[in-house]
Amino acid sequence: MRRKLAAGNWKMNGTGASLADLSELAQRYPDSAIDILICPPATLLHRAAEVTKTSGVAIGGQDCHAAQSGAHTGDVSAQMLMDAGASSVILGHSERRVDHGETDADVRAKAQTAMEAGLLSIICVGESLEQREAANTLDVVGGQMAGSIPDQSTGENLVVAYEPVWAIGTGKVPTLEQIAEVHDFMRTLLEKRFGESIGQSIRLLYGGSVKPGNAAEIFGVSNVDGALVGGASLKAADFSGIIDALADA
């Protein structure tokens, strides 16, 4: 059985005052039957890890550099994330791919470094609206998976998150049939590449305007093992509704 995962990506949001919501979340889930993860900005990583250290909430980073160290001003290494208290890192998010021009090869290099450091890599894939309308979704997702996922991936060090770019923060959500098509396709690709055992062990998350009101039906879709949540993870009350829906799924 794959352990369910509710992951929250705070993106470029949050200051010290935001730790109050994180503390509320930690108190609400002193332990949990599912994995709960919050990925705050790097400025909050250490403080967030302190707030959640005795709870069922883990802390992750939002990106890391492919190098272990060096002359990379403004970047953060996988080892630095570990040192700050992170257990996971989001890689290849569409906002990184678009805003920073990250390629599949860039994402793969970062994931390799993160895995070697002991971090769980959450690799994001997903199509744009133009690609969806051109019926290229599976080709795009398959290509991103082939190029972004390292060969040493297992269910212990990799999670794949499907985030249709056109659904992120827009309120638009694919139909349940569309989500199922992509998640079933991703599972098949993983099994073909890594074998049935490893392919079945890698968790697949859905991300894109997940809210307490639609979470339960999304979590009922085949091969959806949880969610990567943006805005709704910023407030404990909203994210708790998603966590509870996943725990009940």
Catalytic site positions: 93, 163
Angle at 11 between CA 26 and CA 248, to 5 degrees: 45
